[in-house]
Amino acid sequence: MDVVVHAAGVMTLAPLVDTDLDALDRMHRTNIRGTFVVDQQAARRLREGGAIINFSSSVLSLSLPGYSAYAATKGAVEAMTLILARELRGRDITVNAVAPGPTATDLFLKGKDEEAVERIAAQAPLERLGTPKDIAEVISFLAGPARWVNGQVVRANGGIV
């Protein structure tokens, strides 16, 4: 194998005090345990010169109310990514994460009305939601020519800080 991209993720939003533990467990299993297992198997199988790319989220740096459980899982993904990059020293395998901002996908759009989507889109200096193509371009860069980018989290979010 040359490249492994792990993009599976689930998100349930609620204030921490109201977060259902079953929802937390589901996010943990998918977002943390899923990344751990995929990365473990990728590290065992990737050829020299390969790349592992995980998905985090720009919500991690935004500290938005209602995102505590989801952001916690993505914080774990970022920690695994950075540590695995160092653990694979000497194998010429890069390990990075992409942290999309608001992107027009089912995961983002689910449960949001048109007004909320427009308000969030306007926050970015580019004044729009990201597209799957925007994120794919970052993945392509990390999977191909970006051999000197390693142990990084690329926040592909249109400039939302």
Query: Annotated active-site positions, please?
Result: 70
Separation in Å, CA 50 to CA 28, 43, 54, 152: 27, 9, 14, 15
Residues 6+ apart with CB under 8 A from 63: 71
Q: How many CB atoms lie within 10 A of CB 51?
A: 24
Distance between CA atoms of residues 139 and 103, nearest Å: 14
- Report the DSSP pairing between strands 153-154 and 3-6: unpaired
7's tokens: 């993009």
